[in-house]
Amino acid sequence: MTRVAPDPPVRPRRGGRASYDRGVTLPQTAQAPEATPHDATALGVLRRVFGYDSFRGDQAEIVDHVCGGGDALVLMPTGGGKSLCYQIPALVRDGVGVVISPLIALMQDQVDALTALGVRAGFLNSTQDMTQRRAVEAAFVSGELDLLYLAPERLRVEPTLRLLERGTISLFAIDEAHCVAQWGHDFRPDYLALSQLHERWPDVPRIALTATATPATHTEIATRLNLTDARHFVASFDRPNIQYRIAPKNEPRRQLIELLRTEHPGDAGIVYCLSRSSVEKTAEFLVAQGVAALPYHAGLDAAVRSRNQSQFLREDAVVMVATIAFGMGIDKPDVRFVAHLDLPKSVEGYYQETGRAGRDGLPSTAWLAYGLADVVQQRKMINESEGDLAHRRRLAQHLDAMLALCETVECRRVRLLDYFGQQGEPCGNCDTCLSPPASWDGTVAAQKVLSTVLRLDRERGQKFGAGQIVDILVGKRTAKVEQFDHHTLSVFGVGADLGEGEWRGVVRQLMAKGLLAVEGNYQTFVLTEASRPVLRGENQIMFRRDPERQARTRSRGERAPQVEMAPEAAPVFERLRAWRGAAAKEQGVPAYVIFHDATMREIATLMPTTLAELGTVSGVGENKLAKYGQGVLDTLSGGDVAD
Ligand code: ADP
Ligand code: ZN
């Protein structure tokens, strides 16, 4: 394709075309005192449009590479700053940046956030009517857009491809690129077709981005997207501001409300549950406890789902109780905690879900409650899952890695990074670092459990769960023990040295290590191949000693620490928050689209008195300064709340 002569990037805008209703908004030009209006370099755009001083990590190199027309595969954790990696090249290069994203429900918010920055963005997806679509198409063809968001399925239809050929494309950004990986739970067949972009537009650079990538997924993305010559940028996956904690599950809902009350009162967060019914029950429970909680799962009406999602994004302190159907692409920066009430199926899933906490870099909590029933349930689900043996084996490997993370006595972060092929040091900000659990030689205990299971197994047709095993070991003559004459077994009472809770922990860890399995529809334990050497005393088994009670890493009443702010700045921050809430409501955008908390904290500390001074704050670019600057200054000087 031939290129037309390059326009000056981030073209000066003439007049203000307010909006084409839905799908595209052309912002007004801003005149910021500090701006260097024609600095079209990547750094110039970063400072002027986004209001940030410098690039982070690999951003500068990635931006440079893509601006120069190179393909890139970018692996960066959530909150790492992936968006700028394609948004800035799209502004610097000639033409429109086409962003392929599966997140239709979030496109409007993404476009709103760009519009607030003065970037001309639009989207095309199934939520629009013909008129709206036509308007966006016209804007695209005439080069009046900087960025165009498309759902991947659009690219499979010929009219879209023909439309794209009529405009000038600066780059293709393939967001959530792990969706091309066959084994991920986010797999979308539409993504496979994206490998053809290169054939049709050989000169247009492609940048694929994801926050999920074990080395295997990483390779799969590169292969399936045909990114043979792409440069790979792999950032550290560490999220130092997230405190990882995995607690023994006793009474999960009570544990959860305790976490919310003691450490996260009034904070936004996400609570993940495995099933739709537990989502609903947990949300009801939280509401009854006075928490502003909302449910989200695939079984809810689409309108309810989108209302709940938008409330979560727009209001300050909503707790979303959800299945994993919720969350991909949610870029709310101030999610302060992610709690799992059920065990995730893989470390990748866990990391992606917990990664939604603390995108703004402020301290956040990832908390998971985990117990024996989780292991039993997940193993059972794998046994019953459809798909061939290889598929089930893969699921089992994913689960095993997750279980190893739960049962480790080492730093959680070191284990997590290791899973992604990266090295780390004990972090001092996870539960095992903060209160190190002991490990103990459980070889004999393991043998006691295994021989009990062996004896039970002989009684055909009976179903005995962990409770029966523990009762036998501690020597408890319950009705069920007597009914089956289990008090006459040689193992009856041989485990009086440990408590019932400890025995349950042993059974759980044997399950986690694959030394016990469940069979049939009920929780009937059976031995595995790996159990034999243990019974024969050939293997030493180490167990983790569960803390007596949930390790609390922050003392009672102590909230997750926030960014340094002088005490006198706190009321100012609250005033700014009120101003921001009112402005967001009036404009129908999420509060963070106006300013992030971190930006407002800096403003509250600096107390600028002029627009020029306000413009130096990180996150205040030329457009936001023009649009909100006066409102902020008025709020600071105690004047009326105004937009
Ligand atoms: P990701 O898509 O990788 O999850 P985002 O692109 O949403 O991350 O960026 C995370 C946060 O970091 C956003 O609030 C973004 O504005 C901010 N950010 C990104 N790059 C920079 C930078 N160079 N300087 C300051 N803040 C940045
Ligand atoms: Zn640690």
Average pLDDT of 612-626?
94
Measuring from atom 9 of ligand 1, which residue has the nearest CA?
81
Place of tokens 């033409």: 95
pLDDT given at position 65: 97
177 falls within a domain: yes
From the CA of 405, the nearest ligand is: 2
Length of the chain: 643
Which of 16-20, 213-217, 422-426 is predicted most confidently? Answer: 422-426
Please indicate, yes or no, whether residues 45 and 157 belong to a single structural domain of this protein: yes
Please indicate, yes or no, whether residues 82 and 35 belong to a single structural domain of this protein: yes
Assess whether pLDDT exceeds 60 at residue 268: yes
Please indicate, yes or no, whether residues 188 and 270 belong to a single structural domain of this protein: no
Q: Which of 545, 575, 605 is the last residue of a domain?
A: 545
597 falls within a domain: yes
- Alpha-carbon distance of 454 to 460, in angstroms, equals 12
Mean pLDDT of the chain: 87
User: Percentage of the chain surpassing pLDDT 90?
Assistant: 60
Please indicate, yes or no, whether residues 35 and 131 belong to a single structural domain of this protein: yes
Domain CATH code at residue 41: 3.40.50.300
Host domain of residue 603: 567-636
**Centroid of ligand 2 to alpha carbon of 478 (angstroms):** 42
**Centroid of ligand 2 to alpha carbon of 405 (angstroms):** 12
Contact 515, 380 (CB under 8 A): no
Please indicate, yes or no, whether residues 431 and 445 belong to a single structural domain of this protein: no
562 falls within a domain: no
pLDDT given at position 91: 97
Assess whether pLDDT exceeds 50 at residue 591: yes
Q: Which of 234, 265, 300 is the last residue of a domain?
A: 234
- Alpha-carbon distance of 232 to 227, in angstroms, equals 10
What is the sign, positive or negative, of the torsion defined by CA atoms of 493, 497, 500, 504? negative
Please indicate, yes or no, whether residues 55 and 72 belong to a single structural domain of this protein: yes
pLDDT digit string, tens, across residues 32-56: 444 445 578 999 999 999 999 999 9
pLDDT given at position 12: 35
pLDDT given at position 545: 87
Pocket of ligand 1 (CB under 6 A): 52, 55-56, 59, 76, 78-84, 331, 333, 359-360, 596, 618
From the CA of 416, the nearest ligand is: 2
9 falls within a domain: no
Confidence of residue 31 (pLDDT cuts 50, 70, 90): very low
**Centroid of ligand 2 to alpha carbon of 543 (angstroms):** 19
Q: What is the DSSP string of 501-546?
A: HHHHHHHHHHHHTTSEEEETTTTEEEE-TTHHHHHTT-S--EEEPP
pLDDT given at position 548: 59
Atom of ligand 1 nearest to the CA of 83: 6
231 sits in which H/E element = strand 231-234
Assess whether pLDDT exceeds 90 at residue 429: yes
Q: Is 145 helix (H, G, I), strand (E, B) or coil?
A: coil
List Cα–Cα distances, 514 to 384, 397, 527, 594, in angstroms.
17, 11, 9, 51
Please indicate, yes or no, whether residues 481 and 416 belong to a single structural domain of this protein: no
pLDDT given at position 19: 35
List Cα–Cα distances, 372 to 39, 115, 343, 389, in angstroms.
60, 49, 10, 25
Confidence of residue 184 (pLDDT cuts 50, 70, 90): low
Assess whether pLDDT exceeds 80 at residue 462: no
User: Percentage of the chain surpassing pLDDT 70?
Assistant: 88
- Between 180 and 59, the higher pLDDT residue: 59
Please indicate, yes or no, whether residues 128 and 24 belong to a single structural domain of this protein: yes
pLDDT given at position 5: 40
Contact 93, 170 (CB under 8 A): yes
Q: Is the pTM of this model over 0.85?
A: no
Closest by Cα among 314, 357, 365 to 335 = 357
453 falls within a domain: yes
pLDDT digit string, tens, across residues 71-110: 999 999 888 899 999 999 999 999 999 999 988 878 988 9
- Alpha-carbon distance of 598 to 364, in angstroms, equals 14
Assess whether pLDDT exceeds 50 at residue 30: no
Closest by Cα among 597, 118, 66, 149 to 329 = 149
pLDDT given at position 211: 86
Looking at 252-326, list the stretches that DSSP marks H as alpha helix, in order from N- to C-terminal side: 252-263, 276-288, 302-314
Domain CATH code at residue 589: 1.10.150.80
Strands (E), 298-443: 319-322, 335-340, 364-370, 439-441
Assess whether pLDDT exceeds 80 at residue 642: no
From the CA of 426, the nearest ligand is: 2
Assess whether pLDDT exceeds 50 at residue 287: yes
Measuring from atom 15 of ligand 1, which residue has the nearest CA?
81
**Centroid of ligand 2 to alpha carbon of 443 (angstroms):** 27
pLDDT given at position 497: 92
Average pLDDT of 239-266?
94
Confidence of residue 7 (pLDDT cuts 50, 70, 90): very low
User: What total of structural domains would you count in the chain?
Assistant: 4
- Alpha-carbon distance of 324 to 353, in angstroms, equals 8
> Picking from 214-218, 226-230, 371-375, which range would have the lowest pLDDT averaged per residue?
214-218
pLDDT given at position 213: 73
552 falls within a domain: no
Measuring from atom 16 of ligand 1, which residue has the nearest CA?
81
Pull the structure tokens for residue 14. Answer: 């003439």
> Picking from 242-251, 453-462, 502-511, which range would have the lowest pLDDT averaged per residue?
453-462
Pocket test for ligand 1, best of 56, 87, 101 (most atoms within 8 A of CB): 56
Pull the structure tokens for residue 598. Answer: 């971190």
- Alpha-carbon distance of 621 to 117, in angstroms, equals 7
From the CA of 51, the nearest ligand is: 1
HEC readout, 34-64: CCCCCCCCHHHHHHHHHCCCCCCCCHHHHHH
Pocket test for ligand 1, best of 49, 50, 351, 616 (most atoms within 8 A of CB): 50
Confidence of residue 389 (pLDDT cuts 50, 70, 90): confident
263 falls within a domain: yes
384 falls within a domain: no
Please indicate, yes or no, whether residues 44 and 105 belong to a single structural domain of this protein: yes
Pocket test for ligand 1, best of 84, 99, 332 (most atoms within 8 A of CB): 84
Closest by Cα among 281, 266, 241 to 79 = 241
Please indicate, yes or no, whether residues 524 and 594 belong to a single structural domain of this protein: no
Please indicate, yes or no, whether residues 85 and 201 belong to a single structural domain of this protein: yes
Please indicate, yes or no, whether residues 145 and 190 belong to a single structural domain of this protein: yes
**Centroid of ligand 2 to alpha carbon of 354 (angstroms):** 15
- Between 21 and 503, the higher pLDDT residue: 503
Closest by Cα among 265, 339, 247, 256 to 558 = 265
- Cα Rg of the chain (Å, integer): 28
Assess whether pLDDT exceeds 90 at residue 3: no
Pocket test for ligand 1, best of 48, 58, 83 (most atoms within 8 A of CB): 83
Average pLDDT of 212-230?
88
Assess whether pLDDT exceeds 70 at residue 559: no
Q: Which of 170, 201, 234 is the last residue of a domain?
A: 234
Average pLDDT of 139-146?
96
Domain CATH code at residue 534: 1.10.10.10
Assess whether pLDDT exceeds 80 at residue 241: yes
pLDDT digit string, tens, across residues 525-551: 888 999 999 999 998 999 988 765 544
Contact 533, 540 (CB under 8 A): no
Confidence of residue 311 (pLDDT cuts 50, 70, 90): very high
> Picking from 91-100, 460-469, 628-637, which range would have the lowest pLDDT averaged per residue?
460-469
Compute CA 549 distance to the chain's CA centroid, rounded to the nearest angstrom: 28
Interior angle at CA 468, CA 466 and CA 473, nearest 5: 95
> Picking from 80-84, 166-170, 234-238, 552-556, which range would have the lowest pLDDT averaged per residue?
552-556
Atom of ligand 1 nearest to the CA of 50: 16
